[in-house]
Chains A and B, each alone.
Chain A
Amino acid sequence: MESEVDGSLVAAHELKAPLSVLRQLALSLDGLDVENGKIRSEMVAISERAIKQVNDLTRVRRLKDGLFEMEPVSVCAICDEVSRELYHLFNRNKRELFIKYTNRAKLVTANHDLLYSVVYNFLLNAMHYSGDDTRAELIVGDYHDKVKITIRDFGPALPIDVWREIRRGWVSKPTSIAMRPGSSGLGLYIASMFSKYMNASIGAIRHRDGTSFYVELPVSRQASLF
């Protein structure tokens, strides 16, 4: 029997190939002055973010195959990894990233790569919407028998229809909602689908001066240190 080919996975592969080439071309530029060196860094960073987004979309398609192993993972370790990766991007865009962990010891049941993408997408979103010389906040703390990761930005408030959709527990489509200016809602959709797979719930809080997105993950009973 002929095996079925997933068109979107093929499309993702085709889309990723030129992005990888662009990244290599940018990396191969030698002897640049400071200003052009910055442009090269931007080109590399932008292509890497696009590659990551394509990889995330591929993962969304593969969620139904159940290939992502759930295991005890450290939320704080993952948040450290993501914030390290995005540190320079925040700096370049004149944003500060404030990080606060109230409990480092607890492990949650999740998939490392999916949780990484959830935090990454929310933080990228926060950087995008926070104004110049403001900060975004990443806070990890306990919430009943769960660990809650909150990402707060200081930008425009979340439209009420988006807030309602998130309140349902997940976002069903990236384009079905009117997001804040300049966004298709793709990052939120990806974070939502990955959270749902990990039995985590996402939510949003509207502030007068911005928005907090949060994800609550079940604590791993097997491997928590405390």
Chain B
Amino acid sequence: MIFIIDDDKDMANCIKRAAKCEARVFTNGVEAMFAVSNGELPDLIFLDILLDGPDGFTFLNELVSYSDTVKIPVVIVSSFEFSEKDLAKYGVVGVLNKDTMLPQEIKVYAEKYT
């Protein structure tokens, strides 16, 4: 199962459709972290950075601070440009730019980690 965290529900649904696997959509990181603390551990997270409330980096910091979530792979999906290398310490395994990404790229990540 994967988590998709994006305050743009339409984009989240596009990612869900492209991933072609069981997915939960969250519009903010707080709800997603709450689900995690209740025992739902996803195989992979697609994470937007600019979110309602705390941003994606706040979520990433939360994620890496707990032993049970530190190893969950994360793919950043954002309109901003980020270096995969700089984000590796947060468990980020990929960066997709919303302006240019392809549905196949989402599917590849979903297949690799689920």
What residues of chain A have their CB less than 8 Å away from a CB belonging to chain B?
A: 13, 16-18, 20-21, 23-25, 27-28, 48, 51, 55
Contacts and interface: CB of A to CB of B under 8 A. Distances in A.
B79 interface: yes
Contacts of B102: 27
B54 interface: no
B99 A21 contact: no
A16 B99 contact: yes
Contact of A20 (B17, B18, B50, B98): B98
B8 A17 contact: yes
Contact of A24 (B14, B50, B79): B14
A24 B107 CA distance: 13
B99 A28 contact: no
Interface in B1-28: 8, 10-11, 14-15, 17-18
Nearest to B13: A21
Interface of B: 8, 10-11, 14-15, 17-18, 50, 79, 98-103
A28 B14 contact: yes
A20 B100 CA distance: 8
A21 B10 contact: yes
Contacts of A25: 14
14 contacts: A13-B79, A16-B79, A16-B99, A17-B79, A17-B98, A18-B10, A20-B98, A20-B99, A21-B8, A21-B14, A24-B18, A24-B103, A25-B14, A48-B100
A145 to B, nearest CB: 34
A157 B77 CA distance: 44
B11 A21 contact: yes
Nearest to B17: A28
Contacts of B101: 24
Contacts of B98: 17, 20
Q: Name the residue in B8, B14, B101 with the highest tally of chain A Cβ atoms < 10 Å from its Cβ.
A: B14
A51 B10 contact: no
Nearest to A30: B103
Nearest to A18: B10
